[in-house]
Structure 1
Amino acid sequence: MEQSGLDFVEVGQRYTFGKTVSETDVMLFAGITGDFSPTHVNEQYAREKSNLGGRIAHGALMVGYMSTASTLSIEHVIHKENLSDFPVSSGYDKLRFLKPVALGDTITVVYEVIRIDKEKGRSIAKNEVFNQRGELVAVGEHVMRWAKKLKGE
């Protein structure tokens, strides 16, 4: 008998992902995205022209780390037998970058399921990104859509 993956998702489930943001992370991300803003890639510029004290990570890199946490949230579901659907990210709402993330900061993403809408086939999770000082640096809500599988012949 087929079941929805949403049957295994519950409000209150929490998943975390932590990582120290390195020079390599920022430079590779700049290369992949083409965002070579000097606030991310030019230490001298960041020290002389901004009040940030040095380079900062891309906000979109924090969204990438949120995506990693969302992937962790579905690992317990996606390999179950007889699922009628599969999870696909539908995006992020209420996304905000609250504080800069410096190279060398260690961030922790907390991904918590806050709503399930079985009728619409989706789950919503609150994302909070904290630095090593416990400061909230980014937030957003992730929408996970549970797409119906195509029926085989």
Structure 2
Amino acid sequence: MTTTSWFPPVGARSTYRKTVTESDVGLFAGITGDFAPQHTDDEYMRSRPQGRRIAHGVLTLGLTSTAAARLCEAHGVTAVSYGYDRVRFLRPVYLGDTVTVDYVIDRVDAEARKAFAAMTATTGGEPVLVGTHVLYCYPPEGDA
């Protein structure tokens, strides 16, 4: 489905699912340099309230980017992330959890060339992340 404007339509939705693996967490730690024990040390986490290692919150947030990219592709929109507002990490994501991202365009500001999407990530039906993603939308090539 392709839109006739620069923006995804209000109500457009994308869903993305991914099981967070040992590799995901290890590679993310290596890329970012965040080797904090809550992500990398089983023994340390056994003595903490969670009882086991948790994925980086920003790794979970990063999964929302895939949902955004898929939505833009489905609607023929070229956009870049303009930022995230009111992001909250509600619960930990454990290694082995499957995260489902629901990404829905809820507002468009055509004058500012921005689209706003509500993001919700869940595991086992429970929300683990919520927030708003702001997309800056580019006109099709050749348009001003």
TM-score normalised by structure 2 residue count: 0.91
**Residues 112-127 of structure 1: pairs in structure 2 closer than 5 A:** 112-127=104-119
- Kindly, what percent of the aligned residue pairs are identical? 46
Quick check: 1:39 aligned with 2:38? yes
Match of 2:84 in 1: 92
User: Match of 1:36, SS?
Assistant: coil
Match of 1:26 in 2: 25
8 Å CA contact 1:5, 1:77 repeated in 2: no
Work out the CA distance in 2 between the residues paired with 1:137 and 1:129. Answer: 6
Deviation at 1:148, TM superposition (A): 4.8
Q: AA paired with 2:68?
A: S
Match of 2:6 in 1: 5
User: Match of 1:19, SS?
Assistant: strand
8 Å CA contact 2:103, 2:117 repeated in 1: yes
List per-residue Cα deviations over 1:39-69 (Å, max 9, x = no partner). Answer: 0000100112x10010000000011101111
User: Match of 1:111, SS?
Assistant: strand
Compute the RMSD of aligned alpha carbons: 1.8
Quick check: 1:109 aligned with 2:95? no
Q: AA paired with 1:107?
A: V
User: Match of 1:100, SS?
Assistant: coil
Out of 100, 124, 127, the position equivalent to 1:136 is 127
Aligned length: 140
TM-score normalised by structure 1 residue count: 0.85
* Unaligned ranges ≥5, structure 2: none
Larger radius of gyration: 1
Out of 53, 61, 64, the position equivalent to 1:63 is 61
8 Å CA contact 2:39, 2:56 repeated in 1: yes
Work out the CA distance in 1 between the residues paired with 2:6 and 2:138. Answer: 10
Work out the CA distance in 2 between the residues paired with 1:103 and 1:18. Answer: 14
